[in-house]
Amino acid sequence: PRLLAEVCLKLDPPNYADAKTALTVYLGSPPRLPPPVLAGLKLTLARVYAALNEPRNAKAWLDQLGAAAPPDVQAAAKVQLAQM
């Protein structure tokens, strides 16, 4: 599902609905990647929700980013939150 989401987001125009489904399924399954990578995927999912005009869901994913998130992901999340 993770790779499917990446492909959906690279389409022109991006297929946000399918990307949202794929990322939600992937992040809802047992983690297979290190926490910093998962944090980046959560940020991507939050951006997808924002693009779909679902700020409440976007904020919920951004709120899940913790100290394990790399500094660049934390900074991008703060920018995203400020824009909502």
Using one digit for the tens of pLDDT, what is the confidence trace for 44-53? 999 999 999 9
Bond before 31 cis per omega within 30 degrees: no
36 vs 46: CA distance, rounded Å: 15
Calculate mean pLDDT across residues 38-64.
96
Q: What is the pTM of this model?
A: 0.93
Calculate mean pLDDT across residues 17-31.
96
